Amino acid sequence: MHLETKAIHAGRGVDPSTGAVTIPLHPSTTFERGADGSFPSGYEYIRDDNPTRHAFETAMAALEGGQAAVAFSSGMAAITAVFEAYPRKGNRIIVPDDMYFGIRSLIDETDIGHRFDFVAVDMRDMDALRAAVGAAPTGLVWIETPSNPLIRVVDVRAACNIAHEAGALAVVDNTWATPILQRPFELGADAVMHSATKYIGGHSDLMAGVVVLPDASPLERPLRMIQKHKGTAAAPFDCWLALRGLQTLPVRMRAHCEGAQKVAEALRKHPAVEAVLFPGLPGDPGHALAGRQMSGYGAMLSFIVGGGAEAAVAVAGRLKLVVRATSLGGTHSLIEHRASVEGPRSMAPSGLLRLSVGLEHPQDIIDDLDQALSVAGRPGAFRGVRLARDVGYRPK
């Protein structure tokens, strides 16, 4: 089946007892034993398994091209579980120097940072990655591409090969690309992680994470034991919402990507914008690589406003349609000044604004950015760029 079909049907079917086309929600925490003490339904207790969570895990495994999936209460719970579950070969984990800030906080502010030796490298530099992996016994290489918030593109196949040469596992955070745009297992990954809170849910109304695994993965049993015994399993309702989100994921991603491309092209022409970080632009350092390993350039972009933090915050403050809020991947376009959100440990330039392009009409997003970026209060600084009304933009 094609991805569009798997997104709707994998892990689900018509309910045999009622004929319902939409999968039922099963919030039950416990399940009846048979007279002989067995569990004929296959379910015992919610931390072990649940029909709704099982359906979501099955669907995610099918969509990513894996054999199993383990769903957690959040993306951070999934990330933490991977760090704790990988087969020990020393406690050394290689991470990208530009990565989701939640991981940096996890390392700095919890016991995870004391239990493991984290080494950060620029994963665009394969020589630097090889040197880091070879400097001491390494168990895990964590790959994030495109990265947050500098939108760097990492060569997944090359990074996985380097990890495997050293006997380490390679895990890819595929949250920003989703299974629709990037296929990490086909590039050599040993596991794929998603914050389902983002594009998989797609409506900013659930929190969940999931790790997808290939056949006979050494990670599966330890991940399931963490899910069960540490109580980090995804809730049935969140899994039900995620299953709903999966059904429209392929078509949403096409619309997200098309909108982001239009917005990035317009921002690049604005005199108040010093740089646009987006692999869909031909001049971007990751453009060629993204074109080879992704089927679309994604819907996340960052742009740097001239004038530093004060100017960038002022631009965000003038927006009327784009929402100033954390997170990404929902229907609403969201913007954040990452340096002030992340604080002194941030790698984001002071003038950087991260933009998650939603599903509004691209011209409306562009018009809002135009008025917010107006130089000395003068509108129209996009130099006459008109996308929708002049060139007939239509979402596919």
Catalytic residues, by residue number, are 47, 100, 173, 198
Give buried/exposed letters for 263-274 (b at 16+ CB in 10 A, else e): bbbbbbebebbe
**Range 229-234, long-range pairs (CB < 8 A, 24+ positions):** 229/47, 230/81, 231/47, 232/72, 232/73, 232/77, 232/80, 232/81, 233/46, 233/47, 233/50, 233/53, 233/71, 233/72, 233/73, 234/53, 234/56, 234/71, 234/72, 234/73, 234/196, 234/208, 234/209, 234/210
Q: What b/e string do you get for 24-51 counting C-beta neighbours within 10 Å, with b at 16 or more?
A: eebeeeebeeeeeeeeeeebeebeebbb
The beta strands (E) that lie in the chain are given as: 68-72, 92-96, 117-121, 140-144, 169-173, 191-195, 209-213, 273-277, 300-305, 323-324, 334-337, 352-356
Residue 153: partners with Cβ closer than 8 Å, 6 or more residues away: 124, 145, 146, 147, 279, 285, 286, 289, 290, 293
Tokens 């067995």 label which residue?
A: 38
Which ranges in 192-328 belong to alpha helices (H)?
Answer: 220-229, 236-268, 287-293, 308-318
156 contacts 187 by C-beta, under 8 angstroms: yes
How far is Cα 47 from Cα 225, in angstroms, rounded to an integer?
10
Q: Is 130 helix (H, G, I), strand (E, B) or coil?
A: helix
